[in-house]
Amino acid sequence: MLLLNFLFGGSLLIWGRKLFWLFIGAAGFFTGWQIAQAITKIEIVGIVVGLVFALAGFFLARFVKTIAIGVAGFLMGGAILHGLSAFVGLDQGLIGWVIYLVGGVGGVVLIGMFFDWTLIALSSLGGATFILQGLSWTGGRLVEIVLFLALLIFGVVFQSRQLAHDKKN
């Protein structure tokens, strides 16, 4: 799972806005994986369910872009808020699903209003969260927070420069 976290997370930090299908696929993968992990703790089941969700996201992105935008905002917003809630221990049981739903609705609203900037923010948050979730170390909370913020800032700065360059051309 560590390799997938770094591949998806790093790709989202760098290409989340440009490769919209990657953003949707990653959101689908980690949502499917989180659902499978809530039901069973067998990692291969989580990976398979995540891949099924990712493929569904890829197809949505390719063929039904408008719906895919809303679905991506919901899935990524939910996955990010749920992932961040794990830092404070609020990702268990019913409260975890409520947090996921709140994040999902927030993601839909934001992506509908400010598409490019929301995509940059959500993909950077998602990338930083996925990379941090892949790490298993005892560096302490402060180190995790600093690393998270550094990854987040890197993703936002990198993608906003790409956006400025794209708008010039």
Over residues 81-93, the pLDDT tens digits come to: 888 888 777 877 7
17-74 residue pLDDT tens = 887 777 778 778 878 888 898 888 888 998 899 899 989 888 877 778 777 778 878 9
- Mean per-residue pLDDT over the chain, rounded: 85
Read off the pLDDT of each residue in 93-122 and give the average, rounded to a whole number. 88
Domain chopping of the chain, boundaries: 2-164
Pick 159 or 116 by higher pLDDT. 159
pTM, two decimals, is 0.67
Contacts 24+ apart (CB under 8 A), 98-107: 100/34, 103/77, 103/78, 103/79, 104/73, 104/74, 104/75, 104/77, 104/78, 105/74, 105/77, 106/77, 106/81, 107/72, 107/73, 107/74, 107/75, 107/76, 107/77, 107/78, 107/80
Confidence grade of residue 157 (pLDDT, cut at 50, 70, 90): very high
Query: What's the pLDDT at 3?
Result: 80
